[in-house]
Amino acid sequence: MALKITVIGTGYLGATHAAAMAELGFEVLGLDVVPEKIEMLAAGRVPMYEPGLEELLQRHVAGIPGSTGRLRFTTSWEEVGEFGDVHFVCVNTPQKHGEYACDMSYVDAAFASLAPQLRRPCLVVGKSTVPVGSATRLAALLAERAPAGADAELAWNPEFLREGFAVQDTLRPDRIVAGVGSDRAEKLLREVYATPLGEGTPFVVTDYPTAELVKTAANSFLATKISFINAMAEVCEAADGDVVKLAEAIGHDDRIGRKFLRAGIGFGGGCLPKDIRAFMARAGELGVDQALTFLREVDSINMRRRGQMVELAREAVGGSFLGTTVAVLGATFKPDSDDVRDSPALNVAGQIHLQGGQVTVYDPKGMDNARAVFPTLAYAPSALEAARGAQVVLHLTEWGEFRELDPEALGAVVAERRILDGRNALDPSRWREAGWDFRALGRPTA
Ligand code: UGA
């Protein structure tokens, strides 16, 4: 009999995981405590922009004509407990308000609701990013509260999907990490992931703490890599060097590698910033805060880039934003996503607005989310409209359509042909040839 799978929490991670599990051939039941989310998903609609996700969902959601019908949604914990052989917990772990630490309330609430419903042998698999030590604590909670007792086991299986590539990263992950407490748990996870394992995906079996740490270590390493190249950008700015060339040159050393060395206004989003902070907080509790002091520096370098972008823009408009018109291209924290959580682009736009600039923003997918966070900024329906009358254009999220912009067409509507590239993604020569004053973070002025 094929395993029956439940997915608890249907945000980014959970919705993608549920659809992917159905794609792999399993019967899947998704649960969320927000009924509106469940209604949307049950109608085959996704509450966020993620390439390919809606199509995948519609291929499997029960009741949609032509679907496999393998994927259903519910708000009932009882139904979840009855249905599942394997329960994936995919709820959010945001930063605690006013603290660095991770807010575990959603994870704790999910386990508290699930445990009493576990009456038959099953495996609960945590996917949320949690402070190390959480799995051991939650395993004890299951043992105590699940009617199935020791037959309701826990595993920790961190998730490495990137927004914008969520479907591909879930169906074809570059590794699967299984923090387990028994051979039975390992065997069940191997069964769940039989397809990617058959295609050669590495499977790393660990204990609970190591599995939890793999996730925070991976995100900390990525954040460090970005801040490293952004620190080099600061030095390049002072020494008239070119950080893009520098990244290319060091990246040829395959011990260093070219990826995640794109200098610019830095990292944002719902993961990297909060994960490095939660990791520092947890290290403090464990008495090893010194081991992660460098992450404080990683965080400050990152936040400084936003300030530097604002400074460059201020210089460009003659020293003050008062009475100036500024166009901002991009609002999301990265392209191919509508996510504006801790978005460097929106942060820069907001700072300039608060300093008296008239800021008009355009983003291909993030307009509604941006408007909700920053209703006082102006929004335009296209890059061209955002740039109309602008004294300076800021390129802050590297959407493909911005690389395709025609410098002549944009030049015809702006007040002054001046552009700042905060993502080092535009071709300087194309813009300069069209008479633009082009500047980019960490690159020479001409
Ligand atoms: C990140 C990790 O990459 C995933 O592996 C992880 O699963 C996920 O967090 C998570 O913890 O759930 P994501 O937040 O989607 O994924 O975004 P990234 O692609 O890592 O980009 C993060 C930020 O870094 C973006 O703002 C991006 O613009 C910036 N970035 C990235 C740079 O500034 N330079 C680079 O070279 C690369």
pLDDT tens by residue, 260-305: 999 999 999 999 999 999 999 999 999 999 999 999 999 999 999 9
Q: What is the mean pLDDT of residues 97-103?
A: 94
Interacting residues of 221 by C-beta distance below 8 A, sequence separation 6+ = none
pLDDT higher than threshold 90 for residue 32:
yes
Residue 249 bridge partners (DSSP): none
**pLDDT tens-digit map of 198-235:** 999 999 999 999 999 999 999 999 999 999 999 999 99
Q: What percent of the chain has pLDDT over 90?
A: 98
pLDDT of residue 270: 94
CATH code linked to domain 207-446:
3.40.50.720
Q: Report whether residue 77 contacts ligand 1, using a CB cutoff of 6 Å.
A: no
For a substitution probing ligand 1, which of 279, 334, 336 has the most ligand atoms within 8 Å of its CB?
334
Residue 271 known to be catalytic = yes
Task: Give the nearest ligand 1 atom to 343 CA.
Answer: 26
The string of DSSP codes covering 58-120 is HHHBTTSTT----EEEES-HHHHHHH-SEEEE-----BPTTSSSB--HHHHHHHHHHGGG--S
Q: Report whether residue 264 contacts ligand 1, using a CB cutoff of 6 Å.
A: yes
Task: Give the nearest ligand 1 atom to 333 CA.
Answer: 26
Task: Give the nearest ligand 1 atom to 272 CA.
Answer: 9
**pLDDT tens-digit map of 302-335:** 999 999 999 999 999 999 999 999 999 999 999 9
Q: What is the mean pLDDT of residues 342-362?
A: 97
Q: How many CA atoms lie within 13 A of 42 on its CB side?
A: 14
pLDDT of residue 237: 95
Stretch (H or E) spanning 103? none
pLDDT of residue 403: 97
Whose tokens are 């959603």? That residue is 106
Catalytic residue among 90, 122, 236, 271: 271
pLDDT higher than threshold 90 for residue 16:
yes
Query: Interior CA angle at 431 toward 428 and 436, to 5°?
Result: 115
What topology is assigned to 4-205 in CATH?
A: Rossmann fold (3.40.50)
Give residue 274 CA to ligand 1 midpoint distance, Å: 12
What's the rounded Cα separation, in Å, for the pair 179 and 167?
23
Tell me if 291 sits within 8 A of 280, measured CB to CB. no
pLDDT of residue 402: 98
Label residue 342 left, alpha or beta by phi (over 0 means left) and psi (-120 to 50 means alpha). left
pLDDT higher than threshold 80 for residue 42:
yes
Amino acid (one-letter) located at 151: D
- Which protein residue's CA is at the shortest distance from atom 33 of ligand 1? 266
Residue 17 bridge partners (DSSP): none
What's the rounded Cα separation, in Å, for the pair 308 and 356?
17
Q: Report whether residue 162 contacts ligand 1, using a CB cutoff of 6 Å.
A: yes
What's the rounded Cα separation, in Å, for the pair 296 and 301?
9
Q: Which one, of 274, 399, 265, lies nearest residue 344 by Cα? A: 265
Q: Report whether residue 226 contacts ligand 1, using a CB cutoff of 6 Å.
A: yes
- Which protein residue's CA is at the shortest distance from atom 29 of ligand 1? 267
Task: Give the nearest ligand 1 atom to 398 CA.
Answer: 28
Tell me if 439 sits within 8 A of 316, measured CB to CB. yes
Q: Report whether residue 50 contacts ligand 1, using a CB cutoff of 6 Å.
A: no
Give residue 262 CA to ligand 1 midpoint distance, Å: 11
What's the rounded Cα separation, in Å, for the pair 244 and 66?
48
Q: Report whether residue 333 contacts ligand 1, using a CB cutoff of 6 Å.
A: yes
**pLDDT tens-digit map of 116-125:** 999 999 999 9
Say how many C-beta atoms besides its own lie within 10 A of residue 325's C-beta.
Answer: 20
Query: What are the residue boundaries of the structural domains of the chain, listed by start?
Result: 4-205, 207-446
Q: Name the pLDDT band for 171 (thresholds 50, 70, 90).
A: very high
Q: Report whether residue 261 contacts ligand 1, using a CB cutoff of 6 Å.
A: yes
Give residue 162 CA to ligand 1 midpoint distance, Å: 7
pLDDT of residue 235: 97
Tell me if 330 sits within 8 A of 395, measured CB to CB. yes
Note whether 4-205 and 207-446 share their fold.
Answer: yes
Say how many C-beta atoms besides its own lie within 10 A of residue 291's C-beta.
Answer: 12
What's the rounded Cα separation, in Å, for the pair 426 and 152?
53
Q: What is the mean pLDDT of residues 36-61?
A: 96
Instruction: Give the chain's mean pLDDT.
Output: 97
Task: Give the nearest ligand 1 atom to 223 CA.
Answer: 24
pLDDT of residue 124: 98
pLDDT of residue 1: 74
pLDDT higher than threshold 90 for residue 446:
no
Interacting residues of 238 by C-beta distance below 8 A, sequence separation 6+ = none
Work out the widest C-alpha separation in the chain, in whole angstroms: 73
Say how many C-beta atoms besides its own lie within 10 A of residue 202's C-beta.
Answer: 11
pLDDT of residue 428: 96
Say how many C-beta atoms besides its own lie within 10 A of residue 217's C-beta.
Answer: 14
Q: Report whether residue 219 contacts ligand 1, using a CB cutoff of 6 Å.
A: yes
What's the rounded Cα separation, in Å, for the pair 26 and 20?
9
Say how many C-beta atoms besides its own lie within 10 A of residue 83's C-beta.
Answer: 20
Interacting residues of 131 by C-beta distance below 8 A, sequence separation 6+ = 101, 102, 104, 212, 278, 279, 281, 282, 285
Interacting residues of 40 by C-beta distance below 8 A, sequence separation 6+ = 46, 47
Label residue 52 left, alpha or beta by phi (over 0 means left) and psi (-120 to 50 means alpha). left
Q: What is the mean pLDDT of residues 11-17?
A: 95
pLDDT higher than threshold 90 for residue 368:
yes
pLDDT higher than threshold 90 for residue 445:
no
Q: Report whether residue 262 contacts ligand 1, using a CB cutoff of 6 Å.
A: yes
Tell me if 80 sits within 8 A of 117, measured CB to CB. yes
